């Protein structure tokens, strides 16, 4: 039996998971779910998350058109 990652957001139809744990980010690459990694002190973290959400939304819209 193959072990699953501690977090698997795509199972719950979550398009973007936001986390500060680099192992979750690595699991996203391995298991194919999107993770935005929040780093150390960053005064612009909210703006960066909003930008990433907009990028993901646009990508999903393009995929629907195909």
Which pLDDT belongs to residue 39?
Answer: 85
Which pLDDT belongs to residue 1?
Answer: 63
- Note the pLDDT tens digit of each residue in 2-57: 678 889 998 899 999 999 999 999 999 999 999 999 988 889 999 999 999 999 99
By the 8 A CB rule, do 6 and 26 touch? no
By the 8 A CB rule, do 17 and 33 touch? yes
CA distance 27 to 10: 12
Which pLDDT belongs to residue 33?
Answer: 95
User: What does pTM read for this prediction?
Assistant: 0.81
CA distance 7 to 42: 24
CA distances from 51 to 16, 22, 30 (A): 12, 20, 23
Which pLDDT belongs to residue 41?
Answer: 87
Which pLDDT belongs to residue 6?
Answer: 85
């Amino acid at each position: 039996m193959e072990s699953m990652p501690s977090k698997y957001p795509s199972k719950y139809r979550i398009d973007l998971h936001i986390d500060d744990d680099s192992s979750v980010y690595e699991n996203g690459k391995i298991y194919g779910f999107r993770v935005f990694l929040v780093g150390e002190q960053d005064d612009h973290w909210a703006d960066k998350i909003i930008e990433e959400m907009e990028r993901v939304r646009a990508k999903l819209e393009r995929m629907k058109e195909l």
